[in-house]
Amino acid sequence: MDQKEGVILLTTNLSPSSPEETRALIQADNGRVLAELSQNLKEPGPYYIGKGKLEELKALIQSLDPDLVLVNDDLKGFQLRNLERELDIQVMDRTHLILDIFASRARTKQAKLQVLLAQLTYGKSRLIGSYSLSKAGGGIGTRGPGEQKLELDRRKIDRQIHQIQSRLDEIKSQRQEQLKQRKKSQVPLVSFVGYTNAGKSTMMNALLGQESDKRVFVKDMVFATLDTSLRSVKLLDKRPVILADTVGFISDLPETLMEAFQSTLDELKNSSALVHVLDGQSESLQKDYMETLKILKNLDLMDIPRLTVFNKIDRPDMRPQVIQPRPDKLLFYSALNDPVEKLEEALVDLLGDQWVQGEIFFSFQDQGLLNQALKDYPQAQVSYNEKGSLLKGEFLREDMEKWTGGKQ
């Protein structure tokens, strides 16, 4: 839309994210906050908020004539319907807003299917019969399944969800095959992770240099990157690596999105190393850090070597207080102003101890393991004797330890 939609933002002490974060989300979805209302609640009621606050909200709507009301929390289906009937205006909750942003950002077939899956899963209990999908035209909250889905019953929606999941399974199988080929090439995968809009894409572009055909999309807004972008580059030690730009995290990322994007997030498990990028100027630095660690822990990624980078540090006096728990490998950096060699040196150091030269012995009873090792490391040299086979070459430390039982 050319014109931003006017939004009244409703927050409570039960809201999972700060008003500042939600205002950024609204702006990312081409909206503008006309006014904010807040209330302390012990527990949400039929209208989520109390009757007094509801009357105050009605008066504000009458005065400002907004396009919608945004509740900075997740609403149950009956709360959403009650509010819309009482206010006679579109009402959205936080998850609906994030789904809408994802729908506008998705570019690849996989991302579009994942977003649609999340929207339909969410819509089974909330969007059916709601004001937001009944109104005509575009704007915030109207992307995705749309009003044509209103007449679909739960069975038809379940059928469509099943079809989408089947198509995503096909894409997952294709990507797994690509991952197998990548492992055979012995090129390490370095994935950039962190809070949305922390500067992951800008940092990746710094490593890619001026090759315009390789540079990834950058924009100063939340969730600018949805589709995982892979790029090959050589670092200071001349060894090639593959860089992966990933979707940004946010506090309490909706469960429907986490489930829909699970296969994409699972690909992070194939990373040789993670670069956790933090916005060094963020007022919620500690919270952003802990939110990302929580997601990494839930995805079982905490054992992957990790470099934590305080980005957007343009002057020495801007260095923030170090976060807790303090990471093992820490770098203060400005992707826009610091020499890229500073980042490359840190990555070379991070990756340096993951590859080791060595020999692995396989008995004749372990020929299946030997065959797998030769598939994964085609450059390795094998020799045979009366006791078995000896494989010489450069291996990932984790594989070397697995095959030798930690004895090298």
Residue ranges of the annotated binding site for Mg(2+) are 201, 225
The C-alpha angle with vertex 51 and arms to 48 and 56, in degrees rounded to 5, equals: 100
> Binding site membership for GTP: which residues?
194-201, 223-227, 245-248, 311-314, 334-336
7 DSSP β-pair partners: 33, 68
Nearest alpha carbon to residue 347 among 289, 263, 279, 274:
274
Q: What is the rounded CA–CA span in Å between residue 358 and residue 406?
A: 12
Whether residue 278 contacts residue 309, with contact meaning beta carbons closer than 8 Å, is answered with: yes
Closest CA to 187 of 229, 246, 238, 263: 238
Binding-site residues: 194-201, 223-227, 245-248, 311-314, 334-336
Q: Are 108 and 227 in contact (CB under 8 A)?
A: yes
Compute CA distances 200 → 178, 213, 225, whole Å: 24, 18, 9
Nearest CA to 142 out of 96, 74, 88 is that of: 96
Q: Under DSSP, is residue 393 helix (H, G, I), strand (E, B) or coil?
A: strand
Q: Report how far Cα 307 is from the mean position of its chain's Cα atoms.
A: 17
What residue ranges in 321-369 does DSSP mark as E strands? 330-332, 355-363
Q: How many whole angstroms separate alpha carbon 330 and alpha carbon 325?
A: 12
Phi first, then psi, for residue 223 (nearest 5°) are: 55, 40
CA distances from residue 20 to 72, 98, 130, 265, 396 in whole angstroms, order as listed: 11, 15, 27, 26, 43
CB 138 within 8 A of CB 100: no
